[in-house]
C-alpha cells in the first residue's frame, strides 16, 4: 500500500503507523462533556467499521513525523487522499460514503449539558 | 569422471541441452547422468526413472506429471543434513548441476516398498472428511493420545531442516514503469514494444530461460527457433533499456502497484561455483505503475481410473520433455486428448520413431497426425501399472486395451489467472468462465493492467502474438513488425470432459492431496455446495501446488453434481504466493542478531570492560549488574551495589531515558495539557515530576521535566515509553491543538546522562564542578543548573529515583564517555560504585517508586497513590475519563508493599496474593498480584515486593500469602505495609 503524505508525497505504508479511525474530534479542552456521554465515547471508543470510504489516522513515524488522516476505501483498499490531522477537523471533510451525516460541528458540541 | 551412464529415453539429437557437458547427480543415493540444460525431472526421465515419490494421503507411487511450476507429484528433497535439507522441490523446476543430491519423499522404507501404502489398499474407507468423522470415537483424550500422533506421522510433505537456514537472503526495492510477468514470446513481445516507447520495463520469468512454450512447441519465428527468437527479443529489450530477470517468480500482487517477486540466484549452480556471502535468493518488492500479465496457461488432465500412475502425464509435459530436453517419455506412447492440441504432441513423438496411438474423445474430429493411429470418440477408462504404466483401457465408441509405456493427457488449457485475481477485493470481481473456451479467463482488468498471451485464453501462437500487440497498445507501446510464424501446433477449445463416465475413487483430480472424482461427489452429496467448502472438505487444491492442475476440474464436477453452471460455482480465491517462497527470503538479513538494531549507550564500552552483564531493554543494551572478583551470582553483585549507593556513592547510566526538547511560547501551556499536574508556575531552573495519563484515563508514563528558560523545557520519559510518549505528544498537538505554538524533538541520542546517588553524591558533584555552588541552598531539591564542562553544555538536575540524595548530569553524547570516566575518577575517594538495573530496581522498590511493572496500562492515579499529582484547576489529557465511576470502585486493586516473613524465602514475580494459606488458590479468593520483586532488600534484610491488591488500605500490617502458579506453587508468607519502605518522609533526597 502507498500513502500520499501531504508533506512527503507518495510513500510506502511501512513508514507509517496506523492509529485507527478518525471519526470524531477530541472534545474541547475545559469542556463539561461527561465521560460516559457521546462526545468522549465517540472520540475514544465508538467506531462504525464501515464497508465504504473511511478516514484513518496514520503517523508518518519513519518520515516527517506528521499525523495525517488517510482516506481509504475499506473494501477496495483504494487510497483517495490524505489530509494533515491539523487541518482535518477544521476544513470541510472530503466526500466520504455514508458517513457524511456526522458533521464536525455536531461532534464538537458538548453532550447533554 | 564417471563412465557415462545409460540414458535410454534420451534421443540422439534435439532439445536445448548440451550433450558435450554431462552432469552427474544422485536420486535416492543412486548415481545418474544428465546434461547441461536438463531439469532434474528430464534427466531422471531420460535415465528411465518413472517413480519419483509417494502421494500424500494414500502413499500411491507417483511419477512426474508436468514440466513446470504446476507439478503436483514429483516433489523431492535436495541434500541431506540437518541444516541443508530442503524439501518439496518440484523436480521439473530443479536445474541440474554436477553433484546434485536428491531424495524422494513421503515414504517409510524404500520408495518402491512404502509401508504406508496400506492406506491405498483401504482407500475406499478413507474418503474425504474421514478424519473429521472417525476420530471422535474415544473422545478428546483418545484424539490426543492415539489418533493425532499417528496422523501426524502419516501427514506432511517432506521433512523440514532441523537447524537454522545457513544461507544469505536479500530484500531489495525494484522499480519499473511497467512490470511484465512472464517471459514467453508474448510477454517479451509486449515488453519490447513498451521499452521501445521509452518505458522502463522489467520482465520477470520464473524459468531458467525465456521463451515459454516456444522452447518446445517447435514453431519458428521468422525462421528462428522459439529459443533463438526469445533470446533475440531479450537482446532487443535490453538494447531499449529494459531488464529481463530469469529465475524470478512474481508470486503476489498487492495494493498500490506493489508486486512480490523471488529471484533464485544460486540454487542452480554447482556447490563449488556458489559465491559465499552472496544471496541465495532475493526478494524483490517491485513498485510498478503498470503490469502486463503474460503468465501463460497450464494444461489440465481428465478424471479416469489410474490417471495418477507413474507414466501418466500432461500432454504438454510430454511435448516439453521431447522438445526442450530431447527426452522421449515413452517408446509406445498413447495420447488421450479432448482437443486438437494432442495431435501436435502425437506427431512430434511419431517423428522420433515412436509407436503412437491417439485416443480422441471427440467423435467428430477429422484431424490426422502423420504416423499416428487415431481412435475417435474414445476415452481412457483405466491406466494399469503400479510402479510404471504398462497398459491402458479405453471405452466410448469402441472399447479395448492398449499396451503402452506413457499416457499423455490433453484435457484443455487453464489460463494462469492466479496473479490477475490477487487483487479481486479491489476490483470486486473474480475470474470469468468462458463456456466456449471452457476455461476461466482473467477478471476485468483495471486501467493499469493488461494481459498478453495464452493467459487471455488465446490458443495458438498467432492469437498470442495478437494479444501481445493489444496489451502493448493499451499502454502506448511502439509498433512492431509481427514475425512470420509457421504454426506447428493445431489448436482448438476442448470438448467438455472433466472426468470420463464411471470414474470413481481411483480417478484423481488433485494428485498432491489425493482428492478424487468420488470425493467431489461426496462433498456435494453432504451439502458442501460452495467451492470454498468443497476445497476444505476434500482438500482439493491445497498444499504446495494449490491445485494448479486440479481446481478447474474439481469445481466443474461440483457444478455438475449440484446441477449448476460452472460460472455459478466460480473459482476458489487465489492468494499469494503463486508458488512457495522460503521464509528466509521474507526475513532477508533481519534475523537473529540483525533482527532489530541494538542501541548502545555512549558508555557501553566502559561498562563492558568493567564487568557489566547486559540486559535488553527494548532496543537498548543496559548494564544489569557489574560483577566483581569473588561474587557468586547477580544478586550478590546487585546487593553490593545497592549497599554502596545507600552508604556512600553510586553511579549509574541513565542515557537510555527518553529525552524531549520542548520549545515555544506555548510550551508551558502544552505541558499543562499533557501532564496531570500544573506547569505554568514552574520557575526557570527547576524540575518537576510529572504524570501523564492516556486519553482514556489510565496512567501512561511518568518522568521529570525541567524549565531551562521561559519557553524552553527538557522532558525525560521512561526508557520503555520514550517513542510512545513522543508519538502521543505529536498526536495531541497536531490533531487536537495545532494552534499551540510549540515545537519538540527527541534528543534521546544527543545527550548522555548519569546519576550520582548516595550521601557522598554532593561531594562528588562539587569535585566535578568546583566553581558551582551545589550546596542545599545553591542547588535545592528539584534544582536545575545549566553550565559547562570543559566547554560543553552540561545540565545538572537534583532529582532522585533511588531515594538517596542524588543528582543527574547530562552532557552531549559525544563527550559523555569522557565525562563518565572523570566522574569515576572524582568519586574514587568515596569508592564510587557503578550500579546496574538490578540494583536500581532494589533501590526504587525500597523507595516505592513505580516503573513499567506497575504502570502496565491498567492502573489509575489512585491505584498507584498518585492522586495528589492531579491539578483540579485545569484540564489535561485523560482528566475527563479518569472521573469514570469504575475508577473509584472499592474493589479496584491498589499498590501495596510486601515483606517476606522468612529471611530465606523469595517472593516470586507475578505471584498471586491471598489472605489465607488454606486455599483454594484461585480467582475466587485472590486479592491481587505481585508486580515487582527485590529478591533481597538490604533495608529489610529479606525479599520485598510491590503488589496490587483489593482493599489495600485495610491490609497494612496483616499477614498475606503469595503463590506463584507458574513457578513452584510454594506458599510464601508476607506482611503487607506501605510501599514506601525507605525514607517515607523524603528526608534523604531533600537534605
Residue-wise pLDDT for B184-219, tens only, equals: 999 999 999 999 999 999 999 999 999 999 999 989
Give the span between the Cα atoms of B454 and B468, in whole angstroms.
Answer: 10
Q: Which residues of B touch A86 (CB under 8 A)?
A: 734-735, 738
pLDDT at B488: 61
pLDDT at B426: 65
Q: Domain spanning B605-656+750-843: which CATH class is it, in words? A: alpha beta
pLDDT at B443: 92
Q: What separation, in Å, do the N-terminal and C-terminal C-alpha atoms of chain A show?
A: 44
Give the helix/strand (H/E) hosting B730: helix B722-731
Instruction: Report the residue of B260, B443, B880 to disrupt the A interface, i.e. the one with the largest count of A CBs within 10 Å.
Output: B880
Q: Where in chain B is the domain with CATH 2.40.30.110?
A: 890-990
Q: ∠ at Cα B493 (B487, B499), nearest 5°?
A: 130
Is the ipTM of this structure higher than 0.95?
no
- B727 in reach of chain A (CB within 8 A): yes
Give the bridge partners for B243, in sequence order: B202
Cis omega before residue B577 (within 30°)? yes
- A84 in reach of chain B (CB within 8 A): yes
- B255 in reach of chain A (CB within 8 A): yes
DSSP-based three-state secondary structure for B243 = strand
Per-state percent for chain B, helix, strand, coil, to nearest 5: 25, 30, 45
The share of chain B scoring above pLDDT 70, in percent, equals 95
Q: Which residues of A touch B740 (CB under 8 A)?
A: none
pLDDT at B588: 93
Sign for the CA dihedral angle at B16, B19, B25, B31 comes to: positive
Nearest residue, CB atoms, A1 vs list B256, B727, B880? B256
Q: Per CATH, is B18-132 categorized as 3.10.20.440?
A: yes
Backbone angles phi, psi at B634, to 5 degrees: -60, -35
Please judge whether A86 and B734 are an interchain contact, meaning their C-beta atoms are less than 8 angstroms apart: yes
Please judge whether A76 and B425 are an interchain contact, meaning their C-beta atoms are less than 8 angstroms apart: yes
Please judge whether A76 and B428 are an interchain contact, meaning their C-beta atoms are less than 8 angstroms apart: yes
Which one, of B316, B351, B352, lies nearest residue B335 by Cα?
B316
Q: Would you say how long chain A is, in residues?
A: 113
Nearest residue, CB atoms, A40 vs list B731, B735, B881? B881
Q: What separation, in Å, do the N-terminal and C-terminal C-alpha atoms of chain B show?
A: 89
pLDDT at B333: 98
Give the span between the Cα atoms of B890 and B499, in whole angstroms.
Answer: 72
Cβ contacts of B756 within 8 Å, gap of 6 or more: B649, B650, B651, B764, B765, B806, B807, B808, B809, B823, B827
- B731 in reach of chain A (CB within 8 A): yes
pLDDT at A43: 94
Contact B983, B989 (CB under 8 A): yes
Which chain A residues in 88-107 lie under 8 Å from chain B, judged by CB atoms? 88-89
Q: Which residues of A touch B255 (CB under 8 A)?
A: 1-2, 77, 79
pLDDT at B130: 63
- pLDDT confidence band for B636 (50 / 70 / 90): very high
Nearest residue, CB atoms, B880 vs list A17, A40, A59? A40
Q: State the fold for domain B497-582.
A: Arc Repressor Mutant, subunit A (1.10.10)
Give the span between the Cα atoms of A75 and B798, in whole angstroms.
Answer: 56
Per-residue pLDDT tens digits for B678-699: 999 999 999 999 999 999 999 9
Contact B336, B342 (CB under 8 A): yes
Sign for the CA dihedral angle at B734, B740, B742, B748 comes to: negative
Nearest residue, CB atoms, A67 vs list B427, B730, B875? B730
Nearest residue, CB atoms, B736 vs list A1, A26, A36? A26
Nearest residue, CB atoms, B734 vs list A31, A36, A85? A85
- In B, minimum Cα distance to A10 occurs at B256
Size of interface A-B (CB pairs under 8 A): 78
Backbone angles phi, psi at B323, to 5 degrees: -75, -40
Nearest residue, CB atoms, A86 vs list B425, B738, B875? B738
Q: What is the DSSP letter of B92?
A: G
Q: State the fold for domain B169-297+415-486.
A: FAD/NAD(P)-binding domain (3.50.50)
pLDDT at A108: 41
> Across all residues in chain B, what is the average pLDDT?
93
Q: Where in chain B is the domain with CATH 3.10.20.440?
A: 18-132
Alpha-carbon Rg for chain B, nearest whole angstrom, is 38
Nearest residue, CB atoms, B731 vs list A35, A67, A75? A67
Which of the pair, B81 or B853, is modelled with greater confidence? B853
Pairing of strands B281-293, B258-264: antiparallel
Q: Can you tell me the mean pLDDT for A73-98?
A: 77
Q: Which residues of B touch A61 (CB under 8 A)?
A: 727
pLDDT > 50? residue A96: no
- B231 in reach of chain A (CB within 8 A): no
Which one, of B42, B3, B415, B472, lies nearest residue B233 by Cα?
B472
pLDDT at B760: 97
Q: Can you tell me the mean pLDDT for B351-363?
A: 96
DSSP-based three-state secondary structure for B866 = coil
Sheet of B792-797, strands arranged across: B784-789, B792-797, B806-812, B751-757, B650-653, B833-834
pLDDT > 60? residue A100: no
Which one, of B538, B864, B484, lies nearest residue B701 by Cα?
B864
pLDDT > 60? residue A105: no
Phi-psi region of B851 (alpha: psi -120 to 50; beta: other; left: phi over 0): beta
Which one, of B598, B603, B547, lies nearest residue B575 by Cα?
B547
Domain B301-411 maps to which CATH number in 3.40.50.720, 3.40.50.1980, 3.30.420.40, 3.50.50.60? 3.50.50.60
Please judge whether A26 and B880 are an interchain contact, meaning their C-beta atoms are less than 8 angstroms apart: no
Give the helix/strand (H/E) hosting B214: helix B214-217
Give the span between the Cα atoms of B866 and B868, in whole angstroms.
Answer: 5
Please judge whether A35 and B738 are an interchain contact, meaning their C-beta atoms are less than 8 angstroms apart: no
Q: Which residues of B touch A67 (CB under 8 A)?
A: 730-731, 734-735
Q: Which residues of B touch A34 (CB under 8 A)?
A: 880
Per-residue pLDDT tens digits for B18-47: 999 999 999 999 999 999 999 999 999 999
pLDDT at B129: 66
- pLDDT confidence band for B126 (50 / 70 / 90): low
Q: How far is CA B470 from the centre of its chain?
A: 37
Give the helix/strand (H/E) hosting B912: strand B912-914
Q: How far is A1 from chain B (nearest CA, A)?
A: 5
Per-residue pLDDT tens digits for B243-298: 999 999 999 999 889 999 999 999 999 989 999 889 999 999 999 999 999 999 99
pLDDT > 70? residue B139: no
- CATH superfamily for domain A2-107: Folate-binding superfamily (3.30.2270.10)
pLDDT > 80? residue B131: no
pLDDT at A97: 42
- pLDDT confidence band for A92 (50 / 70 / 90): low
pLDDT > 90? residue B758: yes
Of B380-389, B421-430, B877-886, minimum mean pLDDT range: B421-430
pLDDT > 90? residue A102: no
Q: Helices (DSSP H) in B414-528: which residue ranges?
A: 424-427, 461-474, 517-525
Q: Per CATH, is B658-746 categorized as 3.30.70.1400?
A: yes
pLDDT > 60? residue A101: no
Q: ∠ at Cα B407 (B406, B413), nearest 5°?
A: 135
Q: State the fold for domain B890-990.
A: Elongation Factor Tu (Ef-tu); domain 3 (2.40.30)
Give the span between the Cα atoms of B601 and B70, in whole angstroms.
Answer: 53
Please judge whether B731 and A59 are an interchain contact, meaning their C-beta atoms are less than 8 angstroms apart: yes
Q: How far is A39 from chain B (nearest CA, A)?
A: 11
- pLDDT confidence band for B428 (50 / 70 / 90): low
- B737 in reach of chain A (CB within 8 A): yes
- pLDDT confidence band for B163 (50 / 70 / 90): confident
pLDDT > 60? residue B713: yes
Q: Where in chain B is the domain with CATH 1.10.10.1100?
A: 497-582
- pLDDT confidence band for B105 (50 / 70 / 90): confident
pLDDT at A113: 37
Amino acid at each position: 500500500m502507498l500513502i500520499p503524505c501531504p508533506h512527503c508525497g507518495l510513500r510506502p505504508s511501512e513508514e507509517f503507523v496506523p492509529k485507527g479511525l478518525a471519526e470524531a474530534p477530541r472534545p474541547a479542552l475545559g469542556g463539561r462533556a461527561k465521560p460516559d456521554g457521546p462526545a468522549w465515547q465517540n472520540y475514544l471508543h465508538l467506531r462504525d467499521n464501515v464497508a465504504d470510504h473511511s478516514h484513518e489516522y496514520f503517523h508518518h513515524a519513519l518520515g516527517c513525523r506528521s499525523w495525517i488522516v488517510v482516506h481509504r476505501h475499506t473494501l477496495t483498499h483504494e487510497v483517495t487522499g490524505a489530509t494533515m490531522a491539523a487541518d482535518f477537523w477544521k476544513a470541510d471533510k472530503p466526500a466520504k460514503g455514508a458517513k457524511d451525516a456526522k458533521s464536525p460541528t455536531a461532534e464538537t458540541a458538548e453532550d447533554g449539558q | 569422471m564417471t563412465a557415462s551412464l545409460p540414458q535410454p529415453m534420451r534421443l540422439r539429437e534435439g532439445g536445448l541441452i548440451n550433450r558435450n557437458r554431462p552432469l552427474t547427480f544422485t536420486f535416492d543415493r543412486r548415481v545418474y547422468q544428465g546434461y547441461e540444460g536438463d531439469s532434474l525431472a528430464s534427466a531422471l526421465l531420460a535415465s528411465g526413472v518413472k517413480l519419483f515419490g509417494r502421494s500424500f494421503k494414500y502413499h500411491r507411487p507417483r511419477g512426474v506429471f508436468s514440466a513446470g511450476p504446476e507439478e503436483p507429484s514429483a516433489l523431492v528433497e535436495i541434500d541431506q543434513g540437518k541444516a541443508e535439507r530442503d524439501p518439496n522441490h518440484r523436480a521439473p523446476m530443479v536445474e541440474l548441476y554436477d553433484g546434485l543430491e536428491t531424495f524422494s519423499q513421503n515414504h517409510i522404507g524404500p520408495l518402491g516398498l512404502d509401508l504406508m501404502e496400506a492406506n491405498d489398499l483401504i482407500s475406499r474407507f478413507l474418503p474425504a472428511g474421514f478424519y473429521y468423522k472417525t476420530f471422535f470415537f474415544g473422545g478428546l483424550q483418545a484424539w490426543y493420545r492415539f489418533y493425532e500422533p499417528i496422523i501426524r506421522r502419516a501427514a506432511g510433505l517432506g521433512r523440514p531442516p532441523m537447524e537454522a537456514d545457513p544461507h544469505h537472503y536479500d530484500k531489495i526495492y525494484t522499480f519499473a514503469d511497467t512490470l511484465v510477468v512472464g517471459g514467453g514470446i508474448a510477454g517479451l513481445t509486449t515488453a519490447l514494444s513498451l521499452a521501445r516507447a521509452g518505458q522502463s520495463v522489467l520482465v520477470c520469468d520464473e524459468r531458467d530461460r525465456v521463451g515459454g512454450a516456444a522452447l518446445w512447441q517447435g514453431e519458428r519465428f521468422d525462421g528462428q527457433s522459439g529459443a533463438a527468437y526469445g533470446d533475440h527479443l531479450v537482446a532487443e529489450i535490453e538494447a531499449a533499456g529494459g531488464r529481463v530477470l530469469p529465475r524470478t517468480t512474481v508470486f503476489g500482487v498487492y495494493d498500490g502497484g506493489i508486486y512480490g517477486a523471488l529471484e533464485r540466484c544460486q540454487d542452480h549452480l554447482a556447490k563449488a561455483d556458489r559465491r559465499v556471502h552472496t544471496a541465495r535468493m532475493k526478494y524483490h518488492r517491485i513498485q510498478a505503475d503498470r503490469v502486463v500479465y503474460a503468465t501463460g496457461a497450464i494444461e489440465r488432465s481428465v478424471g479416469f481410473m489410474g490417471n495418477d500412475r507413474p507414466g501418466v502425464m500432461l500432454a504438454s509435459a510430454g511435448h516439453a520433455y521431447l522438445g526442450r530436453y530431447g527426452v522421449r517419455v515413452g517408446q509406445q506412447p498413447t495420447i488421450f486428448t479432448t482437443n486438437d492440441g494432442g495431435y501436435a504432441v502425437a506427431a512430434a513423438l511419431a517423428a522420433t520413431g515412436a509407436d503412437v496411438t491417439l485416443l480422441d474423445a471427440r467423435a467428430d474430429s477429422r484431424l490426422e497426425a502423420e504416423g499416428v493411429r487415431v481412435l475417435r470418440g474414445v476415452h481412457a477408462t483405466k491406466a494399469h501399472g503400479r510402479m510404471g504404466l504398462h497398459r491402458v483401457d479405453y471405452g466410448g465408441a469402441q472399447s479395448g486395451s492398449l499396451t503402452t509405456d506413457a499416457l499423455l493427457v490433453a484435457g484443455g488449457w487453464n489460463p494462469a489467472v492466479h496473479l490477475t485475481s490477487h487483487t479481486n477485493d479491489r476490483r470486486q470481481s473474480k475470474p470469468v468462465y468462458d463456456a466456449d473456451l471452457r476455461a476461466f479467463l482473467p477478471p476485468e482488468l483495471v486501467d493499469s493492467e493488461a494481459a498478453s498471451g495464452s493467459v487471455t485464453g488465446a490458443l495458438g501462437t498467432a492469437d498470442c502474438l495478437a494479444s501481445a500487440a493489444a496489451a502493448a497498445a493499451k499502454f502506448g507501446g511502439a509498433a512492431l513488425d509481427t514475425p512470420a510464424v509457421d504454426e506447428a501446433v493445431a489448436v482448438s477449445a476442448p470438448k467438455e470432459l472433466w472426468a470420463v463416465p464411471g470414474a470413481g475413487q481411483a480417478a484423481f483430480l488433485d494428485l498432491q492431496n489425493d482428492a478424487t472424482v468420488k470425493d467431489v461427489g461426496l462433498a456435494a452429496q453432504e451439502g458442501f455446495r460452495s467451492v470454498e467448502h468443497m476445497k476444505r472438505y476434500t482438500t482439493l487444491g491445497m498444499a504446495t501446488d494449490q491445485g494448479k492442475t486440479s481446481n478447474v476440474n474439481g469445481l466443474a464436477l461440483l457444478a455438475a453434481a449440484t446441477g449448476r453452471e460452472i460460472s455459478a460455482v466460480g473459482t476458489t480465491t487465489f492468494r499469494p504466493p503463486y508458488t512457495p517462497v522460503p521464509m528466509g527470503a521474507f526475513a532477508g538479513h533481519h534475523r537473529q542478531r540483525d533482527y532489530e538494531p541494538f542501541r548502545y549507550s555512549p558508555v557501553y564500552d566502559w561498562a563492558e570492560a568493567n564487568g557489566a552483564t547486559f540486559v535488553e531493554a527494548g532496543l537498548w543494551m543496559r548494564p544489569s549488574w557489574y560483577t566483581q572478583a569473588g561474587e557468586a551470582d547477580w544478586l550478590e553483585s546487585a546487593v553490593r551495589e545497592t549497599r554502596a549507593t545507600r552508604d556512600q556513592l553510586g553511579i549509574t547510566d541513565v542515557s537510555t531515558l527518553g529525552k524531549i526538547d520542548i520549545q515555544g511560547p506555548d510550551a508551558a501551556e502544552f505541558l499543562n495539557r499533557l501532564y496531570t499536574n500544573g506547569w505554568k508556575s514552574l520557575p526557570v531552573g527547576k524540575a518537576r515530576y510529572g504524570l501523564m495519563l492516556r486519553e482514556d484515563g489510565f496512567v501512561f508514563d511518568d518522568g521529570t521535566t525541567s524549565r531551562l528558560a521561559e519557553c524552553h523545557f527538557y522532558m525525560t520519559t521512561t526508557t520503555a515509553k520514550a517513542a510512545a510518549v513522543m508519538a502521543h505528544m505529536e498526536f495531541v498537538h497536531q490533531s487536537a491543538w495545532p494552534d499551540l505554538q510549540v515545537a519538540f524533538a527527541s534528543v534521546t541520542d544527543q545527550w548522555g546522562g548519569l546519576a550520582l546517588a548516595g550521601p557522598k553524591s554532593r561531594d562528588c558533584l562539587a569535585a566535578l564542578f568546583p566553581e558551582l555552588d551545589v550546596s542545599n541552598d545553591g542547588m535545592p531539591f528539584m534544582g536545575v543548573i545549566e553550565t559547562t564542562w570543559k566547554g560543553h553544555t552540561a545540565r545538572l538536575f537534583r532529582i532522585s529515583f533511588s531515594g538517596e540524595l542524588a543528582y543527574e548530569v547530562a552532557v552531549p553524547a559525544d563527550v559523555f564517555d569522557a565525562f563518565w570516566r572523570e566522574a569515576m575518577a572524582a568519586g574514587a575517594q568515596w569508592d564510587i560504585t557503578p550500579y546496574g538495573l538490578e540494583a536500581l530496581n532494589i533501590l526504587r522498590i525500597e523507595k516505592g517508586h513505580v516503573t513499567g511493572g506497575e504502570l502496565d496500562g491498567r492502573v489509575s492515579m489512585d491505584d498507584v497513590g498518585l492522586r495528589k499529582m492531579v491539578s483540579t484547576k485545569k484540564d489535561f489529557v485523560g482528566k475527563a475519563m479518569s472521573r469514570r465511576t469504575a475508577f473509584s470502585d472499592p474493589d479496584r486493586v491498589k499498590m501495596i508493599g510486601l515483606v517476606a516473613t522468612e529471611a530465606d524465602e523469595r517472593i516470586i514475580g507475578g505471584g498471586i496474593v491471598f489472605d489465607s494459606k488454606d486455599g483454594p488458590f484461585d480467582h475466587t479468593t485472590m486479592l491481587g498480584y505481585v508486580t515487582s520483586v527485590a529478591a533481597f532488600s538490604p533495608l529489610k534484610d529479606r525479599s520485598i515486593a510491590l503488589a496490587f491488591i483489593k482493599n489495600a488500605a485495610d491490609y497494612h500490617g496483616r499477614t498475606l500469602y503469595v503463590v506463584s502458579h507458574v513457578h513452584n506453587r510454594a506458599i510464601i508468607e508476607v506482611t503487607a505495609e506501605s510501599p514506601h519502605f525507605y525514607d517515607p518522609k523524603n528526608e534523604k533526597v531533600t537534605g
